[in-house]
Structure 1
Amino acid sequence: MMKTYGLIGYPLSKSFSQKYFTEKFEKENLKARYLNFPIASIDEFPELLTHHPYIGGLNVTIPYKEKVIQYLDDLDPVSKEVGAVNVIKVDWTNPKEPKLTGYNSDIIGFTRSIQPLLKDHHKKALILGTGGAAKAAAYGLKSLNIESKYVSRTPKGDNQISYQSLDKNTIEENTVIVNTTPLGMYGNMDAKPDIPYQYCGNNHLFFDLVYNPEVTAFLKAGQEQGAVIKNGLEMLHLQAEGAWEIWNK
């Protein structure tokens, strides 16, 4: 039986993962396939394993990186601390009750991708968004000794601030700015997070998890102020390979 892997999320109109793994399987002559599972509600998740009993592993994307945890049997220590999962390993040792374990390869991809661009003055960061990807970015930045705060439209807690509160001092102090929102992705390419770009400069590093288009409106605005920019494509490659390692270890 051909091993099946896949991606859950909604919507899944543009899936990097499916293209990446399909090409990988062909190139490496692996008897496997990668399917998209666009589920409109996380409540549909349990049915996947019923209908596809040979799934070896799953990726998880927006908006289920946190919601899927309730259906898992175990979490690795990192995803447990972060509170978000983007990789699920399925163990079929007991065919009647497969064991589902959650991992987070977003952290691997993000950390390895941003690290080469960091300079000594990059000590504090703003993370735009508060979802599962934002939590992975925060964990990665912490491992690189960079303090971070979340920026949210509806901030909650001490470590979240509002977009309206972003003033000159805040922007100049936080020289790493990471966009984890879907704003600016293909289909809505003119959109960008509402921050005061005019206070950014050549000390800033802009990192966007969006990879299509190559230069988002967010990155372009940063670049025009002299910031170093990077999109999420390399991160995606690195997290995908991280997922493959997890499924096959």
Structure 2
Amino acid sequence: MRRYGIIGRPLGHSASPAHFAAKFAREGIDARYDAWELASVGELPTLLAAHPDLRGLNVTIPYKRSVVALLDSLTPEAEAVGAVNCIRREADGRLTGHNTDIKGLRASLDRLLAGEEPGEALVLGTGGASQAVQYVLAERGIPFALVSRDPARGNYTYDALPADVVERCRLVVNATPVGMWPATEQAPRIPYAYVTPAHRLLDLVYNPPRTAFLDYGAQRGARTLGGEVMFAAQAEASWRFWGAAEQ
């Protein structure tokens, strides 16, 4: 039996185990998918040693960037992004890191924008998911600004985000876990009063499907999209990446 899984902390919100269990049952695949909450990313070698049948892993918060130091190689996409959400264990035991969030984000922006040009984007967060967002926006030639809790990592902090920047940036992407289950009442602290019907709001959070961030945008007339499209696309891209090692 082939074995796959996900590492991160916490994992109570993750839909990956259910997604892959359903996929394996539906397609008659002899495999299993487990969730491993690691107290630190440094526990990965111990996990791999304990499960020699483990073929591939997804990686979620907070380890998308820190896991890179433990890998033997990166795909060009992962190297360009500087973050990994998918690991393939090669036949010789070497670990190759990939970033399938890119495919998920492309699919999400295609759905949300429907051919529109947003002009400028505002990206909330500067972690591993945000790095993939930045990569895809740059790929599309969409200029963006970053909002971070750390003034050294973003163009603005949440406490000093000018209202005119929100008004001007017609695409706003929440690349933070704020609003994720179980803290579903929370939302990134931005001036929502300056969101308009011309805005497009994308939340990478998929649990819950409708976050407070999206609700605030919808109340202002903005078009919104949750993280389900991204989740499904990146999950299938992960499966294809793992499968390449078995051909």
Answer whether contact 1:11 1:40 (CA < 8 A) is retained: no
Among candidates 146, 149, 152, match of residue 153 of structure 1: 149
Q: Distance in 1 between matches of 2:84 and 2:201?
A: 24
TM-score (norm 2): 0.95
Question: 1:240: which partner in 2?
Answer: 235
* Offset, 1:4: 0.3
* Offset, 1:147: 1.2
1:154-233 equivalence runs, <5 A: 154-156=150-152, 160-233=155-228
What amino acid does structure 1 have at the position aligned with 2:225?
K
For residue 221 of structure 1, give the secondary structure of its aligned residue in structure 2.
Answer: helix
Q: How many residues align?
A: 243
Q: Distance in 2 between matches of 1:67 and 1:213?
A: 26
Query: After the TM superposition, which parts of structure 1 deviate over 4 Å for at least 4 consecutive aligned residues?
Result: none
* Offset, 1:121: 4.2
* Offset, 1:139: 0.8
Give the % identical residues. 43
Q: Distance in 1 between matches of 2:117 and 2:32?
A: 45
For residue 141 of structure 1, give the secondary structure of its aligned residue in structure 2.
Answer: helix
Instruction: String of CA shifts for 1:82-115, please: whole Å, max 9, x gaps.
Output: 11000001002x3xxx110000000110111112
Please give the root-mean-square deviation of Cα atoms over the aligned residues, in Å. Answer: 1.2
1:69-148 equivalence runs, <5 A: 69-92=68-91, 94=92, 98-118=93-113, 119-148=115-144
Answer whether contact 1:122 1:176 (CA < 8 A) is retained: yes
Q: Distance in 2 between matches of 1:227 and 1:130?
A: 23
Unaligned runs of 5+ in 2: none
Unaligned runs of 5+ in 1: none
Q: Distance in 2 between matches of 1:120 and 1:18?
A: 35
For residue 49 of structure 2, give the secondary structure of its aligned residue in structure 1.
Answer: helix
Structure 1 residue 12 and structure 2 residue 8: aligned?
no
What amino acid does structure 1 have at the position aligned with 2:140?
L
Answer whether contact 2:8 2:62 (CA < 8 A) is retained: yes
Q: Distance in 1 between matches of 2:141 and 2:133?
A: 12
